[in-house]
Amino acid sequence: MLAVKDSVAVITGGSGGIGMALAEYWIKNQGKVVLADVIPEALEKAKEKLGGDVVTVVCDVTDEADCGRLADTAIDAFGQINLVAPFAGIIMDGLMISPDRETGKITKKMPLEKFQKVVDINLTGVFLTVRECTERMVNNDCRGLVCLISSTGSLGTAGQINYSSTKAAMSVMPKVITAEFFRRGLADKIRCAAVAPGYVGTPMVKNMNQKALEKILNEVPIGRLIEPEEVADLVGAIYQNEALAAETYFIHGGLRLGSRG
């Protein structure tokens, strides 16, 4: 079992939502945090809120140099990296093609830019963050976990061909990374896993159209949103239990269980 106390977590997308909840969990359990985001003001507020051993880094996860600097900052500040949580991500929903209701002809399609931006942040950004951080973990003889964030959207959600594709990638990456580490004799020190939340009660979700939110909740067997703190707690449990590796762990309140028959 690994202890959170004195361990170092690198968290991207850390100024809000699940990333912030994980940072709070880490500090509460006497860990240390390197918090990354693209908005300096948001990072400053997050650091004030967290207290404890927190270093913030303005980082564009799509930028190779920024990701390298993020990893170096963690080593320079704390001498190690134990948890890599590349949680930076965006949603830009839309149908791939949309036919006109009267003519049946296509009148609108998802722009390449809308597809590419989601892929750049949610997939390429994760790859760069993980690559740079694990390089420093190996070179500095660190022990720990790479925890990716997938989604129930990885199972296929209409209107999310960009987002769902990236989250499906997150669900297979733990197997690929674990296999590569195993091949190189690293898998006993650095594990990789993913968590896949359902509808999470972030401020954005809670403040959405209330009728739409009610419709969503009608499909969740436990009858409520998943709290960010519950996702953070799952990440903490995976980190501490070294038998958990190479898998994606769903946390969705029974959303995909078809409990209504």
Active site residues: 163
Contact 163, 93 (CB under 8 A): yes
Q: Exposed/middle/buried for 112, CB within 10 Å: 0-12, 13-18, 19+?
A: exposed
Distance CA 13, CA 65 (A): 17
Distance CA 122, CA 149 (A): 9
Look at the block and give the residue holding tokens 């093609």: 97
Q: At 106, which helix (H) or strand (E)?
A: strand 106-109
Helix, strand, coil % (nearest 5) of the chain?
45, 20, 35
What is the token pair recorded at 90?
A: 């965006």
Distance CA 22, CA 233 (A): 8
DSSP conformation class of 227: P
What is the distance of C-alpha 30 from the center of its chain?
A: 22
